[in-house]
Amino acid sequence: MAADIKDAAHAVEAAAVMRLLPARPRILALGEPTHGEETLLEVRNELFRQLVEQQGYRTIAIESDCLKGLAVDDYVTSGTGTLDEAMEHGFSHGWGAFEGNRELVRWMRAHNVRADRDDRPASERLRFAGFDGPLEITAAASPRQALTALHGYLAARVDADLLPCTGETLDRLLGADDRWTDPAAMTDPARSVGQSADAARLRLLADDLAALLDTQTPHLITATSRAEWDRARLYGRTATGLLRYHHWMADLSPARMTRLVSVRDQMMAHNLLALAERGPALVHANNGHLQRSRSAMRMWQGPVEWWSAGALVHAHLGEEYAFVATALGTIRHQGVDTPPPDTVEGLLYTLPEDRYVIDARRLATALDATRPAPRESPWFGYAPLDPARLADSDGIVFVKDVS
């Protein structure tokens, strides 16, 4: 058994990851079992750096607000603003405060500056993307930014008679932003405006604006650029997704939370599929958003299950989507101590080195007869591996101790 496990373990290098895959996938996703640990961000940064330099990946996407991320992309591609401004304004969920994320953005900008000096084409510049919706744990953003940006892009370039409404009409229907962002609406559907008459009208207008963008594609790409048109598509996806999310915020049925988490991962999946159209992309998020199988979590009203963004993207891309989970041994400062020896993490913890890339399917075969026990987490912020789903991932990055 120990020999079989050791044979499935390799150094954490891009080459070791690629050997697990039949070919370079368009989307290569690296998950993490917990958020906010600098050790895991350091591992991600080094692995992504190698994959960019050795395998030609050209986009790095993380679990952060897709609209805020545009500021980071502008900085790393063209030097717009400063690093401090990109970190302050380009991330949601507080991710801009983490040194690992700052180092990632710093390196991406330096990579692009070197590319410019080497006279490499613009297509070889690294791009950054947030692929989450403008959603926080307790609230969702107003659809104002996405809707008005989409309307403004179209109003400047198509016949006014084709527009379904004026900007003034959008502004009136949107009203004050704080009525959309009320955090009390997460636990009290009656506080949400998502099923009001104004919101219903906005959903129809958003759909019409997105359809107009689609029908005018040849003209718009010629009149502006593919990059500007692609950004307008992002505004359209985000506007329709946010209005759908707000609609279900006001839902009173038992399926309310299932619908909300499903809409969020649907928004993530649509953003990832758009990135895949642009070229090969690296993605980093929680394991639960990237796995191929159904995701599950317990919330205040009970258990919730839904199809993750990874499952949705895999359904579209097949082998061109790859998922590498991250597992860990300890997070002692959060009370996660040495894993029990009969768990997957406990068996991997016996390996001599601190970090490994594990062949997940080979490991699953080696452990099939032993049936490892599920690890129980003493801390809500960490999700252990499910031993029954080892073979659902292409590989595992194992980090023995998070310091």
Q: Where along the chain do its domains lie? A: 1-136+268-401, 140-263
Rounded-to-integer distance, Cα 400 and Cα 204, Å: 51
pLDDT tops 80 at residue 121: no
403 pLDDT tier (thresholds 50, 70, 90): confident
Instruction: Give the per-residue pLDDT at 235.
Output: 98
Across the chain, mean pLDDT equals 95
Instruction: Give the per-residue pLDDT at 1.
Output: 58
C-alpha distances in angstroms, 193 versus 16, 183, 197, 310? Answer: 50, 12, 9, 30
pLDDT tops 90 at residue 75: yes
pTM: 0.96
Are 291 and 363 within 8 A, CB to CB?
Answer: no
Are 289 and 264 within 8 A, CB to CB?
Answer: no
pLDDT tops 90 at residue 116: no
Instruction: Give the per-residue pLDDT at 163.
Output: 98
139 pLDDT tier (thresholds 50, 70, 90): confident
Instruction: Give the per-residue pLDDT at 298.
Output: 79
Are 348 and 358 within 8 A, CB to CB?
Answer: yes
Instruction: Give the per-residue pLDDT at 108.
Output: 97
Instruction: Give the per-residue pLDDT at 136.
Output: 82
Give the range among 134-143, 168-177, 184-193, 226-235 with minimum mean pLDDT. 134-143
pLDDT tops 80 at residue 119: no
Token digits of residue 187 = 């636990």
Q: Which residues contact 328 (CB under 8 A, 6 or more apart)?
A: 33, 34, 40, 336, 345, 382, 398, 399, 400, 401, 402
39 pLDDT tier (thresholds 50, 70, 90): very high
Query: Comparing C-alpha atoms, which of 267, 159, 276, 286 is closest to residue 220?
Result: 159
Residues 186-218 pLDDT 10s: 999 999 999 999 999 999 999 999 999 999 999
Displacement of CA 166 from its chain's centroid (Å): 33
Instruction: Give the per-residue pLDDT at 2.
Output: 65
Query: Comparing C-alpha atoms, which of 230, 208, 205 is closest to residue 217?
Result: 230
Strands 395-401 and 355-359: antiparallel
Instruction: Give the per-residue pLDDT at 3.
Output: 63
SS3 annotation, 28-77: EEEEECCCCCHHHHHHHHHHHHHHHHHHCCCEEEEEEECCCHHHHHHHHH
Q: What is the fold, at CATH topology level, of the domain defined by 1-136+268-401?
A: Rossmann fold (3.40.50)
Q: Which residues contact 380 (CB under 8 A, 6 or more apart)?
A: none
Are 319 and 22 within 8 A, CB to CB?
Answer: yes
